[in-house]
Amino acid sequence: MATLREIRRRIASIKNIAQVTGAMRVVAAARLRRAQENILATRPFAEKFNTILGHLIAQIENPSHPLLEERELHHVCLISVSADRGLCGSFNSNVIRATTQRAQHYQDQGADVMIVCVGRRTRDYFARRDYNVIAEYVNIFRQLEFQTAVDIVGEFEHLYTDKRIDKVEVIYNNFKSAILQTILVEQLLPLTPEVPTGDEFFLDYLYEPRQEAIFELVLAKHLNMQMWKVLLDSNAAEQAARMAAMENATRNANDLIDQLILERNRARQTQITTEISEIVSGAAALEG
Amino acid sequence: MLEKRFHVEIRTPQRLIYEGEVLSVRAPGILSSFEILAGHIPFLTVFDIGEIRIRESDTPQSIATSGGVFEVLRTGVTVLADTAEWTYELDVERAEAARQRAIERLASRDSEIDQMRAEAALARAANRIKIASQ
């Protein structure tokens, strides 16, 4: 059985841990709030953007564009979005697992798989293994900027229009709510034109330059918006996952402390009992 | 004569930059810079890195942008920019650092895509510096 001093030392160290995890929970909660605000801040922009896209699509008889073109699968690009840090439960491992499964799925079909790693965790995993990592983005979540989404899209967009890849999918944690995050696999390219339905009552615009050129540029921007949404969502999901993980850790630490306190009291009691019985038996020996 | 005003809204994915009634708005169109006045017919275009200028009164206000979509409707103008900062928000030191980085990257890397990207970054930084120093 552990000595009294050992137990006391363990209690002290676990208390420290509980304090740290408790603080991390508070930080994650604050970051989660900010992440949710970011999502809300984007909404009016996204709505306006979709209206414009809707107007545009309504005017185009037969939308055709390199980014809409479906091709036979020879090369597939997967964008794997994780966090930069750990200590957030199964957040990162879920993404990694889903990505490897997806990669396997395409390899079984005879396609060649390339990976774009977003977040340090997926980078660390895929870079060390036998995967073709074509780009990596680490340390971007601290200060999320729209430009990062544009840059990530820049990695694969030209490969797609050059026909060097035939499909692009993004794998990330979707932020459903503070307690629920689910892994989503979304197809980015070819673009699925489930884009907003056109507004029939809308009269045509004047375009400059030509309508097709504008359509092309707007579609490219649409892709940036998709990527931006993924980044915002993953970031919120990460903070929520970390908050939950840290809450669990703090609770477990407190349970452990309670247990150890019981054990400590028992050890102290045994010690006192032993001491008393020693004194009593010593006194008895003197009298006798 | 009282000049006519119209509604303008300028947004980035991250925030609302401006919303209000203006006399005119100028944007760096990809073909050439253009200016919109009240009563313009519906118009859709895309703009590039440069300067957006709004006129609420006689003195125009400048916004540095890295491109976006520009829509004119009967009800007003909507500008959806990738990035946009008011002159007074511009961080010249940061832009200068970005400019240096872009120049270094242009000198060192050889892949075509990296070159293109560095050029774009350089153009953005140069634009910020230019507008800040006006």
How far is it, in rounded angstroms, from Cα A216 to Cα A65? 7
A117 is a catalytic site residue:
no
Task: Mark whether B109 and B53 lie in a shared domain.
Answer: no
Which uninterrupted H or E stretch holds A37? helix A4-59
Q: Answer yes or no: is pLDDT of B110 > 80.
A: no
Which uninterrupted H or E stretch holds B34? strand B33-37
Q: Does the beta-carbon distance from B69 to A38 stay under 8 Å?
A: no
The band of A52, judged by pLDDT with boundaries at 50, 70 and 90, is confident
Task: Mark whether B72 and B99 lie in a shared domain.
Answer: no
Give the nearest partner residue to A214 out of B46, B72, B78, using CB atoms: B46
- Could you give the percent of chain A with pLDDT greater than 90? 68
Output the domain CATH number for residue B23.
Answer: 2.60.15.10
Q: Answer yes or no: is pLDDT of A196 > 60.
A: no
How far is it, in rounded angstroms, from Cα B90 to Cα B52? 14
Looking at residue A197, its pLDDT comes to: 57
Looking at residue A95, its pLDDT comes to: 95
Indicate the range of A52-61, A198-207, B90-99 predicted with least confidence: A198-207
Biggest CA-to-CA distance, chain B: 59
Looking at residue A75, its pLDDT comes to: 94
Indicate the range of A38-42, A182-186, A256-260, B114-118 predicted with least confidence: B114-118
Q: Give the residue carrying structure tokens 């209690």.
A: A11
Task: Mark whether B19 and B39 lie in a shared domain.
Answer: yes
- Answer whether residue B1 is part of any domain: no
Looking at residue A198, its pLDDT comes to: 52
Task: Mark whether B35 and B62 lie in a shared domain.
Answer: yes
The band of A92, judged by pLDDT with boundaries at 50, 70 and 90, is very high
- Could you give the percent of chain B with pLDDT greater than 90? 57
Output the domain CATH number for residue B118.
Answer: 1.20.5.440
Query: Is the Cβ–Cβ distance between A125 and A103 less than 8 Å?
Result: no
Task: Mark whether B49 and B16 lie in a shared domain.
Answer: yes
Q: How many residues does chain B have?
A: 134
Query: Is the Cβ–Cβ distance between B64 and B85 less than 8 Å?
Result: yes
DSSP state of A84: S
Task: Mark whether B114 and B79 lie in a shared domain.
Answer: no
Q: Is A181 on the interface with B (CB under 8 A)?
A: no
CB atoms within 10 A of CB B127: 20
Q: Answer yes or no: is pLDDT of A253 > 60.
A: yes
Q: Is the dihedral of CA A124, A127, A132, A135 positive or negative?
A: positive
Indicate the range of A28-42, A60-74, A149-163 predicted with least confidence: A60-74
Task: Mark whether B72 and B102 lie in a shared domain.
Answer: no
Q: Give the residue carrying structure tokens 């544009």.
A: A150
User: β-strand A75-81 against A112-118: which pairing, if any?
Assistant: parallel
Indicate the range of A16-30, A188-202, B81-95 predicted with least confidence: A188-202
Average pLDDT over chain B reads: 89
Let me know how many helices (H) and strands (E) chain B has, helices first.
2, 8
The band of A203, judged by pLDDT with boundaries at 50, 70 and 90, is low
Q: Answer yes or no: is pLDDT of B104 > 90.
A: no
Q: How many residues does chain A have?
A: 288
The band of B23, judged by pLDDT with boundaries at 50, 70 and 90, is very high
Cα angle for residues A228, A230, A233 (degrees, 5° grid): 110
CB atoms within 10 A of CB A46: 17
Looking at residue A67, its pLDDT comes to: 82
Query: Is the Cβ–Cβ distance between A143 and A163 less than 8 Å?
Result: no
Q: Is B2 on the interface with A (CB under 8 A)?
A: no
Q: Does the beta-carbon distance from A45 to B12 stay under 8 Å?
A: yes
Q: Where in the sequence is the domain holding B115, given as residue range(s)?
A: 91-132
Q: Which of B12, B43, B45 to mutate to test the interface with A (most CBs of A within 10 A)?
A: B45
- Answer whether residue B80 is part of any domain: yes
Q: Collect all residues of chain B within an 8 Å Cβ-Cβ radius of residue A225.
A: 13
State mean pLDDT over A57-76: 82
Domain total in chain B? 2
Average pLDDT over chain A reads: 90
- Reduced to 3 states, what is the DSSP secondary structure of residue A146? helix
Task: Mark whether B43 and B57 lie in a shared domain.
Answer: yes
Going along chain A from its start, the domains and CATH numbers come out as: 30-243 (3.40.1380.10)
Task: Mark whether B78 and B108 lie in a shared domain.
Answer: no
Q: Answer yes or no: is pLDDT of A135 > 60.
A: yes
pLDDT top residue among A115 and A53: A115
> Please, which residues bridge with residue A80 across strands?
A117, A171
Catalytic residue selected from A81, A88, A117, A189 = A88
Paired tokens of A238 = 């990460």
Cα first-last separation, chain A: 34
DSSP state of B92: H
Q: Does the beta-carbon distance from A206 to B44 stay under 8 Å?
A: yes
How far is it, in rounded angstroms, from Cα A101 to Cα B76? 49
Task: Mark whether B30 and B79 lie in a shared domain.
Answer: yes
Q: Answer yes or no: is pLDDT of B105 > 60.
A: yes
Task: Mark whether B43 and B18 lie in a shared domain.
Answer: yes
Looking at residue A83, its pLDDT comes to: 94
Q: Collect all residues of chain B within an 8 Å Cβ-Cβ radius of residue A224.
A: 82
State mean pLDDT over A266-283: 93
User: β-strand B33-37 against A75-81: which pairing, if any?
Assistant: unpaired
Say how many CB pairs under 8 Å bridge A and B. 76
The band of A194, judged by pLDDT with boundaries at 50, 70 and 90, is low
Paired tokens of B50 = 């440069």
Which ipTM was obtained for this model? 0.87
